[in-house]
Amino acid sequence: RSGRQCLDALPALGADAPASGKYLVALPEKFDGAPASFPMFLAQAKLYIQGRARNFPDDRTKVHFLISLLKDQAAKWALPLLRQDSPLLADYGGFCNLLEAAFG
| Among candidate residues 68, 63, 76, 64, the one with its CA nearest the CA of residue 103 | 76
Q: What range does the domain containing 50 cover?
A: 3-103
Total structural domains within the chain = 1
Phi, psi of 42, deg, nearest 5: -65, -40
Which pLDDT does position 69 carry in this prediction? 98
Q: Is the pTM of this model over 0.85?
A: no
Which pLDDT does position 71 carry in this prediction? 98
* Cα-to-chain-centroid distance, residue 103: 14
Which pLDDT does position 23 carry in this prediction? 63
Per-residue pLDDT of the chain (104 residues; tens, 9 = 90+): 433 434 444 444 444 445 455 667 889 999 999 999 999 999 999 999 999 999 999 999 999 999 999 999 999 999 999 999 999 999 999 999 999 999 99
